[in-house]
């Protein structure tokens, strides 16, 4: 169930807007800060498209920082509530020791190659599906994977906004 209506979201002042939507793009409140000026939004889709455009218009350095803000999948460290729930929906909070070690090896390999964590919208995926995607994507070129990771970040944000705001 959504936390607020689109009408309520459109009425939020700058501080409240950033407070409410600053974590949609993993610990990157600058996305909400820069997007707020487009109020009022005509739909949740419009809000999401505005956030996405804000990210796409940012510098590569800023975008890379956004990617680096995401936690490693299967990692058992502190993360945002949203990331924790998303990873739990995929069973990543209940990995066997063998699965955990495999994810750690893949995370290290991926991070070493691309300089940011493996990012995938994992809601309701299985650990096996995620691991398979990691094994495939670690073979991508840097440009290919930067784009893929960014597309996944946008999908994660879309799902989070759908949970937060009702049209």
Torsion from C-alpha of 27, 30, 33, 35, nearest 10 degrees: -100
Pair of tokens at residue 121: 């919208």
Tell whether the model's pLDDT for residue 140 goes beyond 70: yes
In the chain, which ranges are E strands?
4-5, 165-166
Candidate list 36, 70, 137, 158, residue with the active-site label = 70
Pair of tokens at residue 72: 């490693």
Tell me which DSSP letter residue 72 carries: P
Is residue 38 within 8 A of residue 3, CB to CB? The reply is no
State which CATH number among 1.10.3330.10, 1.20.1600.10, 2.30.30.90, 2.60.40.1120 fits the domain covering 4-162: 1.10.3330.10
* pTM score above 0.85: yes
Backbone angles phi, psi at 4, to 5 degrees: -155, 165
Straight-line distance from the first to the last Cα atom of the chain, in angstroms, rounded to the nearest whole number: 12
Q: What is the pLDDT of residues 12-48, one digit of tens each?
A: 999 999 999 999 999 899 999 999 999 999 999 999 9
Q: Residue 71's pLDDT is what?
A: 86
Tell whether the model's pLDDT for residue 138 goes beyond 70: yes
Could you confirm whether 70 is annotated as catalytic? yes
Mean pLDDT of the chain, nearest integer: 93
Q: How confident is the model at residue 72 (pLDDT cuts 50, 70, 90)?
A: confident
């Amino acid at each position: 169930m959504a936390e607020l209506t689109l009408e309520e979201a459109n009425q939020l002042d700058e501080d409240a807007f950033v407070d409410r939507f600053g974590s949609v793009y993993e610990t990157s409140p600058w996305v909400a800060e820069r997007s707020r000026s487009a109020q009022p939004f005509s739909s949740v889709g419009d809000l999401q498209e505005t956030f996405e455009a804000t990210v796409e218009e940012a510098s590569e350095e800023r975008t890379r920082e956004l990617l680096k803000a995401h936690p490693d999948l299967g990692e058992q460290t502190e993360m945002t509530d949203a990331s924790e729930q998303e990873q739990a929906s995929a069973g990543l909070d209940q990995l066997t020791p063998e699965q955990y070690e495999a994810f750690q090896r893949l995370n290290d390999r991926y991070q070493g190659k691309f300089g940011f964590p493996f990012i995938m919208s994992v809601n309701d995926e299985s650990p096996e599906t995620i691991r398979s995607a990691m094994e495939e994507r670690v073979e991508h070129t840097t440009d290919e994977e930067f784009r893929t990771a960014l597309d996944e970040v946008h999908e994660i944000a879309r799902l989070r906004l759908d949970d937060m705001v009702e049209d």
